Amino acid sequence: MNLSVKIANVELKNPVTTASGTFGSGKEYNEFVDLNQLGGIITKGVSNIPWVGNETPRVAETYGGMMNAVGLQNPGIEKFIQNDLSFLQGFETKVIVNVCGKTIEDYCDVVRRLADQPVHMLEINISCPNVKEGGLAFGTDAAMIEKVTKEVKKYAKQPIIMKLSPNVTDIAEMAKAAEAGGADAISLINTLLGMKIDIHKRQFGVANKVGGISGPAIKPIAVRMVYQVAKAVKLPIIGLGGIMTGEDAIEFLMAGATAISVGTANFANPTATIDVLNGIEEFMNKYGIKDINEIIGCM
Amino acid sequence: MNKMQKKVATVYSQVEISSGIFDLWLSEEEIANSAQPGQFIGVYCNQDSRLLPRPISICEIDEVQGRIRIVYRVVGGGTNEISHFNKDDKITILGPLGNGFTLNNRTSVLIAGGIGIPPMLELAKQLQGDKHIILGYRSETFLVEELSKYGKVYIATEDGSAGTKGNVVDILRTLSIKMDDIYACGPKPMLKAVKDYAIANKVDAQLSVEEKMACGIGACLGCVCKTKDNEGNIVRKRVCKDGPVFKAEEVEL
């Protein structure tokens, strides 16, 4: 059985990766799963300087999902290289670093700093709904997406994955802009902007008032957007949004994703990544599929 | 540190011990054998629509029988679902989580309010030395008899229906004993007052902090609190992984 897939000439041993921000850099999950079994680890977003993130509460459960407004708290690129990248070198998996910023220069700083580091791909987060500047502002404007992509491509030594926001009217237009800017791959979807109110206390669910909704509740939206993007561009896609099981992952692959990420499921089940991988294999066995690439984009 | 595990536990017993406060014993040998006072577990709901584990502090550990006890308040749909589990029902739990109290075994004051009281029971059981236990309630009391076995108990209620009318910090201020350690768990304003008292009176204090969590294992950065490092810089630490117990001088409340 072949499970390996290729994204921008980087071979993943299987299509299972981790959604940025739900898996740290793998340290916390190393106690529950064998990280060597994963196709890739997409790290928590890292910026050029340390970010403190938002006030608490930062998380709230929603029906079939959750809302977060962490605000990309991270230690900055230097500490990340020292602590996180060095940790990840011990594993046989592809390392994909998620890069965040408030300005184009911020993104380029991090991309430049990572050029000679042991990193296989970079994922550019232009879609975080929880930071006031940058983030989502870049991800909802096609001209801006093209511009950011072009700028980071000037400095990048590794393939660039542009992570798209679902908080747009026409996702295909955003994907085309990333392609025009020279992106090597696309990942989608990031979280959907939402709000929760505690009616008893008359308080917002998260201190930031709005947060990103993730989890199985948003999966049909993610599958639809992956399908639309797969039809609109030639780039390989990493699909994510509410994947809890192997069957969920298969749905994304059929819709056109070459690889998938497991996100919120990690919080609901610390062995979710491996459970999804086992579920994919079971499905292939059941239907006699010899190569996972046979079903990618079959719809 | 002891290894956290995801396990299917069996309900041994469950009773409502006060209005909306439930007392649940779970059989799960491995977690019972590695749990420490002040640690917590994540309790999963069976309903698919509720994804996240509920973080609940460990009230008591029975290593011999391989059981742990949680005493929790029903605050929403998830805890309401848990409160309906019956003997022999299966329930998935994650634990033990976080860092518990450091037991210094000197003259101690244990001070807790409301649903911060349960973790004091296992602490009181294991802690050596003189123990003064100050408990604060809105009105109805619980766990008083059991805690009385391990030390001198003082009670404060908001409505004066039991003990003295007022809060636990009022009692702490009037205690005429030489205390070495304070162990505290409860609402943030209480913890802040305990912290101020401990620093002013140069008493070592450990505070168990609460925050809304998602993963419970240190990955999501949902449950951070502000702490001060040695140079006075504010550092955000994870309540689930770096806490929930912090030194009073370290944590900003």
pLDDT digits (tens, 9 = 90+) for A57-101: 999 999 999 999 999 999 999 999 999 999 999 999 999 999 999
Residues from chain B contacting residue A44 (CB–CB below 8 Å): 221
Band (B77; pLDDT cuts 50, 70, 90): very high
User: Taking CB atoms and an 8 Å limit, are B51 and A270 in contact across chains?
Assistant: no
CA pair distance B22, B135, nearest whole angstrom: 18
Does A71 fall in a domain? yes
Residues from chain B contacting residue A268 (CB–CB below 8 Å): 44, 51-53
Residues 6+ apart with CB under 8 A from B194: B111, B169, B172, B182, B184, B205, B207, B248
Q: How far is A244 from chain B (nearest CA, A)?
A: 10
User: Across residues A42-61, what is the average pLDDT?
Assistant: 96
Band (A243; pLDDT cuts 50, 70, 90): very high
* pLDDT, tens digit, 9 for 90 and up, residues A33-46: 999 999 999 999 99
Q: What is the CATH number of the domain that holds A119?
A: 3.20.20.70
Q: What is the pTM of this model?
A: 0.94
CA pair distance A233, A175, nearest whole angstrom: 7
Band (B69; pLDDT cuts 50, 70, 90): very high
Does A299 fall in a domain? no
Please state, in angstroms and as integers, the Cα–Cα distance from residue A221 to each residue in A171, A209, A266, A276, following that order: 11, 23, 20, 20
Band (A277; pLDDT cuts 50, 70, 90): very high
What is the average pLDDT score of chain A?
95
Band (A224; pLDDT cuts 50, 70, 90): very high
pLDDT at B176: 87
Residue span of the structural domain in which A275 resides: 5-294
Band (A135; pLDDT cuts 50, 70, 90): low
Cβ of residue A59 closer than 8 Å to a chain B Cβ: yes
Does A203 fall in a domain? yes
CB A232 within 8 A of CB A168: no
CB B68 within 8 A of CB B10: no
Cβ atoms within 10 Å of A246's Cβ, excluding its own: 20
Cβ-Cβ pairs closer than 8 A, A with B, add up to: 88
Does A78 fall in a domain? yes
Band (A137; pLDDT cuts 50, 70, 90): confident
Does A16 fall in a domain? yes
Cβ of residue A263 closer than 8 Å to a chain B Cβ: no
CB B181 within 8 A of CB B107: yes
* pLDDT, tens digit, 9 for 90 and up, residues B205-220: 999 999 999 999 999 9
Does A250 fall in a domain? yes
Residues 6+ apart with CB under 8 A from A171: A164, A188, A189, A225, A228, A229
Does A245 fall in a domain? yes
User: Across residues B114-125, what is the average pLDDT?
Assistant: 98
CA pair distance A83, A254, nearest whole angstrom: 37
Band (A136; pLDDT cuts 50, 70, 90): low
User: Across residues A257-279, what is the average pLDDT?
Assistant: 98
pLDDT at B233: 87
pLDDT at B3: 81
Does A219 fall in a domain? yes
CA pair distance B29, B9, nearest whole angstrom: 9
- Rg of chain B (C-alpha set): 17
Region of poorest pLDDT, from A134-148, B134-148, B202-216: A134-148
Check whether A292 has a pLDDT greater than 60.
yes
CB A5 within 8 A of CB A288: no
Question: Half-sphere exposure of B59 toward its Cβ, with a 13 Å CA cutoff?
Answer: 20
Which of B51, B212, B218 comes nearest A56 by C-beta? B212
Map tokens 């800017």 to a residue: A181
pLDDT at A21: 97
User: Across residues A109-113, what is the average pLDDT?
Assistant: 97
Q: A161: part of which helix (H) or strand (E)?
A: strand A160-163
User: Taking CB atoms and an 8 Å limit, are B51 and A32 in contact across chains?
Assistant: no
pLDDT at B229: 86
DSSP 3-state assignment of A92?
A: coil
- Considering only residues 2 to 21 of chain A, which have any Cβ-Cβ distance to chain B shorter than 8 Å? 21
Number of domains in chain A: 1
- Burial code (b: 16+ CB inside 10 Å, e: under 16) for A193-223 equals bbebeeeeeeebbbebebbbbbbbbbbebbb
A128 is known as an active-site residue = yes
* pLDDT, tens digit, 9 for 90 and up, residues B12-35: 999 999 999 999 999 999 999 999
pLDDT at A249: 98
User: Taking CB atoms and an 8 Å limit, are A59 and B223 in contact across chains?
Assistant: yes
- Considering only residues 142 to 181 of chain A, which have any Cβ-Cβ distance to chain B shorter than 8 Å? none
* pLDDT, tens digit, 9 for 90 and up, residues B167-189: 999 999 999 899 999 999 999 99
User: Taking CB atoms and an 8 Å limit, are A57 and B50 in contact across chains?
Assistant: no
